Structure 1
Amino acid sequence: MVTKENTTIGFIGTGVMGKSMAKNLLDAGYKLNTFTRTKEKADALVALGATWKDTVAELAVSSNVIITMVGYPSDVEDIYFGENGILANAQAESFVIDMTTSKPALAEKIYQEGLSRKLFALDAPVSGGDIGARDGKLAIMVGGSQVAFDSISPIFNVMGQNVVFQGPAGSGQHTKMSNQIVVAANMLGVCEALIYAENAGLDSERVLQSISTGAAGSWALTNLAPRMIEGDFRPGFYVKHFIKDMTIALESAKEMGIMTPGLELTLDLYKQLAEKGEENSGTHALVKLYEV
């Protein structure tokens, strides 16, 4: 079991969610190294006591728990593999934890390569957006070995409240795909409900009061619908990253030979939204497509 005394965490990726996740680890008393492609994004963490590392390799060598929270599967590939990557430079018996939403097959590849280097690899994507990351209330879905999960649980419990071990390597990513399929359909429902209410001449905030706690209740309805009403489309989770997630989910579904027509429709709508220049907006900006 890891303890604060015997652990130095290396955190790569301090974006919308990663910066809060790393801050929570610092606040909990863990020693933290950090690296990100744009150094300025780590300035706030360094000011709080994190140690900046100039390269991925330098961070990997000097940390025994390495957490990554980056953008795309290609970014994961870049920082894990190659002579300057995490796997080639991490010390034996270290834990490497990818919390990026990425491809299940890539998680399995990292796990197998980690085994050959005596590293414990876990795939641990999250859900909960910027609010969940800030409040340490993320849902964390974990794949890998049970022993590694049990050892690292104290760290997960700093960042999340709903932390569940799902099974072998790749299981965390497959669970996140299930999550994103539900989110995709739910976002359509929230947008269409608000537009319907508006066109019926209703007060949208009062409508939310009534429907948020009933059978229609959801995280998106509670947390994102108010932002839609206010016209606040700052990202808790980027449109471009949701497109990435849905694309992975759709590809995985097709590989398994299953139908996901709702996912296909939502992905098409989000691509239309991105083409209108909204790729860096929050996912709730989807409502703009419905506005006349």
Structure 2
Amino acid sequence: MDKIEIRNVGVVGLGAMGGQLARHLQEAGFAVIGYDLRAEAMAAAEKSGVEPAETLSNLAARSDLIIIGVGFDSEVEAVIFGDDALLVGARPGTVIAIASTAAPTTMKKIVARASRPDLSFLDIPMCRGEQAAVDGKLLIMGGGDAATFDSCRPAFGTFSNSIHYLGELGAGQVGKLVNNLILWACISANYEGLKLADSLGVESGPLVAALLDSSAHNWAMESGVGALPMPWAEKDMTIVLKEADNARVSLPLSGTIKEVIKGIKIELGQDMPKMSDG
């Protein structure tokens, strides 16, 4: 495949993550076109120099690379296949990169349903969270055609400092699911361990300092991510379990982690996000 030249980048979903991606791209010199259903998100993006698109098809017609960052698999499909959506306006040679955390099988279903061999699809789920997005230090796990992925590296590098290509389409999502499974496992263990310590009269502050200097050290404990809102935890674990069922793989610990995380969120008063929050 010939090297693709990326100059114009469309960003679909301008929330906490997508808005920062658009900003970094614009500051690096890319022409950035943005779309979000929320007027406040569009207004904030415009202030950072992002060009607004009235419709998804309009965004697609103006973009060499389109980055999708919405919340759920169904929303990814809606922005690609809906009325006046991306496929309506996408020009031959356009690259559609799905940054949302979605099921690996969804990636392949999208390509089959699109039936557009003149387009390229990548999956580029991101790790490290909102602060890393602000700082431009996200981690990308990528899947899809290797040459196409390499052509997009300069754009991806504006908002990430660690880019890993894992293989064919869907491989990035597999990597992200494994990452999230291990992350939520650590958060679950951290929470229960500190709960035990508290019930036995040991203060968490000195104990955490000791644990971070021990074999129990983990990123979730070091970053304090378990004390922050965890809106996507149940969604992540639901995808893990569904993909395991499809592959006929037994993951008994994953089912337990899903329930533990749900219990933690109930204790902390956190809700599962609704579809409209994506």
Structure 2 residue 243 is matched with structure 1 residue 243: no
Confirm or deny: 8 A CA contact 2:93 2:119 kept in the other structure.
yes
Give the match for residue 68 of structure 2: 68
Deviation at 1:116, TM superposition (A): 2.4
2:81 maps to a residue whose letter is: F
Quote the Cα distance in structure 2 between the aligned partners of 1:197 and 1:92: 59
1:33 maps to a residue whose letter is: I
Quote the Cα distance in structure 1 between the aligned partners of 2:181 and 2:107: 19
Give the match for residue 204 of structure 2: 204
Shift in alpha-carbon separation, 1:88–1:173, aligned structure 2, 3 A: same
Quote the Cα distance in structure 2 between the aligned partners of 1:71 and 1:12: 11
Quote the Cα distance in structure 2 between the aligned partners of 1:217 and 1:272: 23
Shift in alpha-carbon separation, 1:21–1:194, aligned structure 2, 3 A: farther
Confirm or deny: 8 A CA contact 1:103 1:173 kept in the other structure.
yes
- Written as runs of structure 1 = structure 2, the 5 A alignment for 1:96-245 is 96-112=96-112, 116-224=116-224, 228=227, 233=228, 235=229, 238-239=230-231, 241-245=232-236
Deviation larger for 203-212 or 159-168: 203-212
Deviation larger for 163-172 or 107-116: 107-116
1:247 maps to a residue whose letter is: T
Deviation at 1:86, TM superposition (A): 1.3
Give the match for residue 26 of structure 1: 26
1:251 maps to a residue whose letter is: K
1:149 maps to a residue whose letter is: F
TM-score where L is the length of structure 1 = 0.84
Instruction: Provide the identity percentage.
Output: 28
Quote the Cα distance in structure 1 between the aligned partners of 2:17 and 2:210: 30
Q: Deviations over 1:235-285 (max 9, x none)?
A: 3xx42x22111111101011112221221112123344566751169xxxx
Give the match for residue 36 of structure 1: 36
Deviation at 1:178, TM superposition (A): 1.0
Shift in alpha-carbon separation, 1:98–1:131, aligned structure 2, 3 A: same
Give the match for residue 286 of structure 1: none
Confirm or deny: 8 A CA contact 2:123 2:169 kept in the other structure.
yes
Confirm or deny: 8 A CA contact 1:181 1:246 kept in the other structure.
yes
Give the match for residue 258 of structure 2: 267
Structure 2 residue 29 is matched with structure 1 residue 14: no
Q: Deviations over 1:9-68 (max 9, x none)?
A: 110112222222222222222211111111212322210111111211111111111001
Number of residue pairs aligned between Structure 1 and Structure 2: 270
Deviation at 1:213, TM superposition (A): 4.2
Gaps of 5+ in 1: 282-292
Quote the Cα distance in structure 1 between the aligned partners of 2:266 and 2:84: 36
Which residue among 215, 239, 247 is the counterpart of 1:256? 247
Q: Deviations over 1:66-113 (max 9, x none)?
A: 001101001001001145221232111111100000121221133345
Deviation at 1:119, TM superposition (A): 1.1
TM-score where L is the length of structure 2 = 0.88
Confirm or deny: 8 A CA contact 1:111 1:144 kept in the other structure.
no
Which residue among 255, 270, 276 is the counterpart of 1:278? 270
Deviation at 1:150, TM superposition (A): 0.8
Confirm or deny: 8 A CA contact 1:143 1:166 kept in the other structure.
yes
Q: Deviations over 1:131-183 (max 9, x none)?
A: 22122222211111001111001112222222111111111111111112111
Deviation larger for 11-20 or 166-175: 11-20
Quote the Cα distance in structure 2 between the aligned partners of 1:16 and 1:213: 32
Quote the Cα distance in structure 2 between the aligned partners of 1:125 and 1:109: 17
Shift in alpha-carbon separation, 1:136–1:214, aligned structure 2, 3 A: farther
Confirm or deny: 8 A CA contact 1:99 1:125 kept in the other structure.
yes
Deviation at 1:207, TM superposition (A): 2.1
Root-mean-square deviation over aligned CA pairs:
2.2
Quote the Cα distance in structure 1 between the aligned partners of 2:24 and 2:202: 41
